[in-house]
Amino acid sequence: MEKIIEVRGISKAYGKRKMKEKIHAVRDVSFHVNRGEVVGLLGPNGAGKTSTIKMLCGLLESDAGSIHINGLDICKKRLKALEHISAVLEGNRNLYWRLTVRENLEYFAGNRGYSRKQVAYQADKLLEQFNLKDKENELVNGLSRGMQQKLAIAVALLANTDVILLDEPTLGLDVEVSYELRNILNRIVKEEQRTIIISSHDMPVVQELCDRVIIINKGEVVIDDRVENLLKLFETRAYSMKLGEGLSVDQENKLLSKFPLSTYTTSSHETIVEVNLEHSQDIYELFDLLKEEGTMVESIDRITIDFEQVFVQIVKGGMTNEMAASIQC
């Protein structure tokens, strides 16, 4: 597979005003993106995603390491390398706010050197794809945030670069527009084989669109794996058990300290324990813990897990690529 982006050991530290120590936002991060892949760049707040994205699109210089885009070193051949990447960053700075929707599309299509007929064709196609036809003559200035975001992504697609970088594409959008945008992107991903890097906290977007995710925590890559592998991995280790009776306080404490990713809920009619085990065989330890006081397990089911739960478990549970690989073996 052709590596269109190759990031090797990049780091970034920021100086803190009046303080000697630095904030190490990104530490020795390496990853690659293959042509045609849709990769999610995820992490909790302050993990180092924005810094990484800014380094990828040349807005920030790394302190160490290298970034190659389409084989071109972003430090040595900056302008040539950046021709291969277009980015939609927060604030949609890639749009002309005093032009209409159609004028923006036609302007950027014109910049690509298309003929007048092709410009009109491209604009029509994108207006249709992004459901913007009825807004074509409105100024960008007056559009809702959702409409502006759709147009910004349409303009980025128009540039036809090898890689498109979408930073939080659904941030601040209402549920309906976010859903619509997710569907539009999904269609484009399926039909056009684009290489896209998406940074997002919107887990349904990640689960639906991304082939692979790179999770960054405290400036370091903790997981780099296919979405389907991670879902499978966590699904085989997540169980819901219905117990015959409530646990004693002592047993409950033992359960929560031994299996920190579990939840225990009890009511007058049922007691449920949900666990996510580090290794599938840990289930025997759980049975022993319950057996100690003669607690009956009435039923046990595997939990269907979504990517949001996977993400929380990885970040909170401190899982790394090595741990994931050892479980998968």
Ligand X SMILES: Nc1ncnc2c1ncn2[C@@H]1O[C@H](COP(=O)(O)OP(=O)(O)OP(=O)(O)O)[C@@H](O)[C@H]1O
Query: Rule CB under 6 A: which residues touch ligand X?
Result: 14, 23, 25, 43, 45-51
Q: Which of 227, 204, 208 is nearest to 314 (CA)?
A: 227
Beta 212-217 vs 38-42: how paired, if at all? Answer: parallel
CB atoms within 10 A of CB 184: 16
Rounded least distance, CB 262 to ligand X, Å: 27
Residue 130: name the closest of 111, 102, 95 by CA.
Answer: 102
Cβ 170 to ligand X, closest distance in Å? Answer: 14
Q: Are 85 and 149 in contact, with CB atoms under 8 Å apart?
A: no
Listed residue (244, 249, 273, 271) closest to 261, CA to CA: 273
CB of 49 or CB of 68, closer to ligand X: 49
Q: What angle do CA 25, 29, 34 make, to 5 degrees?
A: 130
Q: Which of 146, 151, 169, 161 is nearest to 105 (CA)?
A: 151
Nearer to ligand X, 43 or 106 (CB): 43
Distance in Å, CB of 220 to ligand X, minimum: 12
| Between 23 and 75, CB nearer to ligand X | 23
Type of residue at 297: V
Rounded to a whole number of angstroms, the minimum distance from the CB of residue 63 to ligand X is: 13
Q: How far is the CB of 243 from ligand X (least distance, A)?
A: 39
- For ligand X, the closer CB: 46 or 142: 46
Is 181 in contact with 146 (CB distance < 8 Å)? Answer: yes
Q: Which residue has the tokens 């979405």?
A: 227
* Shortest distance in whole angstroms from residue 41 CB to ligand X: 9
Q: Using the minimum distance from each CB to ligand X, give the nearer residue, 50 or 309.
A: 50
Which CB atom, from 157 or from 205, has the smaller least distance to ligand X? 205
